[in-house]
Structure formats: C-alpha cells, structure tokens
C-alpha cells in the first residue's frame, strides 16, 4: 500500500510539473507554428521539428544497471544509468538537445547561426553533433590539456576547435573568448552551459524521472543520488526531481580530492577526472540545496573505471569510476542496503591517451581495491519516460488519462 501511495504521488507530481512547465515555457502560437515550418540548413533539408524529433529518439531513456559487488566481503548493489549509450556517447547530449530546443522555441537562435561554447569536451561534442544535424556552424573553446580524443572528435563532427592554454586563462579564459566572439557578431548563439537554467531542466525532465520510474518498476525507491559536478546540471536537476517525490533522499555532489573546488569555493590543485571541477563553482549550482560534497581521489576513480571495463565489460570513462566510488561512500554512510543511484556519464573511448589506460598505483584510503565486481542486471527502460509516449498506441487509455496524456 505504501509503495502504491508513493507511486501515485509521483504521478500526480508529474501532472503538476507538466502544467507548470507549460506555463513557464508558453510559446506564442506563431512561434510554435514556425518551428514546424522552419527548414534547417542541413543537407537533408528536413524541418527543424523533424530533426529534433529524430534527435530526441536518439538521446535519453538509457538503461539502468544494478551493479552487484562485494565490498570488504559484504554484498552490495549500486544503480547506475548507462549514459555512454547516448547519441555522442555522453550524458551531455541531454542538455545540449534541451538547450537548443528551448532556444529555437523562444527565438533565441536562428537557422545558420554559429553555436559557440566553452567546454572540457563532452558538452562541445554534443553541441557539435546536434548543431551540425541542425545545420549550424560550431566553434568550441577548450582547455588545451584535455584528451587528444576529445579534440579529434570535435573536429570529426565539423566543429572549429580553439585550444586555450593555462596562460590564456584556462577554463575561465575559454568562457571569456566565447563571450567576446558573441560580442563581435550578432549571429552567434551561446548556450552558456554553466549558467543556463535549461541545463538543470534537461535532467529534471528526463534523467530524474527515468531514475525514479526504472527503480520504481523494480520495487525500489532511491535513498540517495550522487554525481560529479562539471556544470552541476545533472546532480541539481536529478536531485530536484527525486526530492519532490522523496524529500529525505540525499543528493551529493562529487569532487576530486586533489582539487576540491566545491568545498573550498575556489580553484585549487589539479586532477585527472576530466569533465568535473572546472576551476570554479557554476552559477546553476546552489550548494545550499545539496548535501555535503563527497571527495574521490582521481587514482581511485581510474582504478574503478578500469575494473568496470575489464571485469563487467562496461567501457566507461574516469568520471564514471568517480561516481561509482562516490555512490559507495554515500551507501557506506546510509547502510549497506541503501538504494543509491548515479550515472556513468561517458564511455572510455575518449580516454585512450590518458591515465585510464596506464598502470595506476594503489594508495592508502582507496576504495576500489576493496571492491569485487560480481555482475550486473539491467532494468528495462521506462515506458513512462519514452520520447514517443504521446504517439504510442500500446499505452493503456486509463494510464494516459491518469497522467494527463491524450490518445494518439
């Protein structure tokens, strides 16, 4: 009975969320009609709406793995979304798609405009691929110490890459260069991933509901969610969704122990977990709404990512290893049976020239050496979060009515 009540409260919450978002993002009828008729500058000359629909079917609704292991001899399970299965191999596809959908709907970007962004890699790759699919030129400003694979992937997707050295300001310098470009040209759109509320919304609308409903289908309710902070969109957005349904759920950001920017409030140290702790605390991250940051050593993250690939066949990046270790730390605080969820943000193919493929020494205090991976189950994708739900002929009429969705 309690499980039914939690599930029903979640459905009612989704109805309210849909209504609230419709009010927040009401688009003038002429603009909505224009979105259907606008033709991209892409070679296939599809309408923008058709391209967005195809992209939406290629992004999100990823599998949720229940990863079984022993920690110091005792049985444990951690739940992780397989975000490396998105269109370009990372969770950033969700944010890039949502940001561009919103920008088009609100008239903030026009066909043929240049998309320019400062990024440590995955966001740039996502905007390059999705931007090119929509026919946009893409310019990426990226710190020059990121992996060679990221640079080459950006170029492969047709983006212009501008490397930024530490002497030029590093990540903050890259953001400044993107802003300067937009200041000189009227045809430049800046996603501004670190301050754009649509970044958080992308995960509140997709990743969060997926975690909730996939766990719910297996009779589980999340006790905690953890994720590394690059922009912070994932941990803030997912956390916001889960806490609306379970206020007592813990939501922990993860940071490198070697560069604890969240804890100190400033750039400090250096680390090897690409994509997190980018020298500052992003504007969309309100630490007061989150639980305490969890520190993970970059070497521990590397060892964990290596194990996930070598023992389970899950080819994930270094930040995925960090998220797994952070999830274990959260579980240790809550109890061995706690339901703790996280995400595997990207795949290991972007790290072939990095420490991920090198021999990593074991140091005191690491958790990965105490972990024996046993295997994993994969939860089915949730029908409730399918991008084609409104067109699905197999969704029962009674359920459609309950969640406020009309018949196809």
Length of the chain measured in residues: 408
> What is the set of active-site residues?
92, 319
Burial (0-12, 13-18, 19+ Cβ within 10 Å), 56: middle
- Both tokens of residue 140? 């990426």
| Residues 6 or more apart in contact with residue 397 via CB below 8 angstroms | 407
How far, in whole angstroms, is CA 287 from its chain's centroid?
18
**Contacts for 50 with CB less than 8 Å, ≥ 6 apart:** none
Contact between 312 and 65 under an 8 Å Cβ cutoff? The reply is no
Interacting residues of 368 by C-beta distance below 8 A, sequence separation 6+? 300, 303, 304, 307, 321, 325, 362
CA 11 to chain centre: 23
Say whether 35 sits in a helix, a strand or coil: helix
Distances in Å between the Cα of 283 and the Cα atoms of 199, 229, 253, 262 are 11, 12, 15, 12
């Amino acid at each position: 009975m309690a499980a039914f009540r939690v599930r029903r409260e979640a459905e009612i919450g989704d109805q309210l969320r849909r209504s609230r978002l419709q009010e927040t993002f009401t688009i003038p009828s002429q603009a909505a009609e224009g979105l259907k008729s606008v033709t991209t500058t892409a070679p296939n000359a599809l309408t923008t709406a058709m391209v967005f629909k195809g992209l939406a079917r290629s992004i999100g609704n990823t599998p949720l793995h229940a990863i079984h292991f022993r920690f110091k001899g005792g049985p444990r399970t951690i739940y992780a979304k397989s975000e490396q299965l998105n269109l370009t191999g990372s969770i950033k596809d969700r944010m890039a798609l949502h940001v561009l959908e919103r920008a088009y709907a609100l008239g903030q970007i026009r066909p043929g405009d240049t998309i320019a962004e400062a990024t440590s890699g995955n966001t740039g790759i996502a905007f390059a691929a999705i931007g090119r699919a929509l026919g946009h030129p893409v310019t990426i400003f990226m710190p020059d110490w990121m992996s060679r694979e990221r640079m080459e992937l950006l170029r492969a997707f047709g983006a212009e890459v501008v490397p930024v050295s530490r002497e030029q300001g590093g990540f903050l310098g890259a953001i400044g260069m993107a802003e300067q470009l937009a200041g000189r040209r009227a045809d430049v759109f800046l996603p501004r991933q670190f301050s754009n509320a649509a970044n958080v919304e992308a995960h509140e609308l997709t990743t969060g509901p997926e975690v909730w409903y996939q766990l719910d289908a297996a009779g589980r309710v999340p006790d905690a969610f953890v994720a590394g902070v690059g922009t912070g969109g994932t941990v803030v957005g997912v956390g916001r969704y889960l806490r609306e349904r379970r206020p007592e759920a813990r939501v922990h950001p993860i940071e490198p122990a070697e560069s604890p920017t969240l804890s100190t409030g400033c750039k400090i140290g250096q680390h090897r977990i690409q994509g997190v702790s980018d020298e500052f605390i992003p504007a969309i991250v309100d630490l007061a709404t989150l639980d305490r940051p969890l520190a993970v050593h970059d070497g521990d993250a590397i060892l964990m990512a290596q194990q996930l690939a070598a023992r389970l066949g899950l080819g994930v990046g270094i930040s995925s290893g960090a998220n797994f270790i952070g999830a274990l730390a959260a579980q240790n605080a809550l109890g061995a049976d706690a339901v703790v969820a996280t995400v595997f943000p990207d795949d290991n193919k972007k790290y072939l020239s990095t420490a991920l493929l090198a021999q990593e020494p074991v140091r005191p205090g690491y958790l990965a050496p105490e972990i024996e991976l046993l295997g994993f189950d994969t939860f089915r994708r949730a029908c409730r979060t399918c991008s084609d739900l409104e067109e699905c002929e197999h969704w029962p009429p009674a359920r459609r009515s309950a969640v406020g969705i009309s018949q196809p």
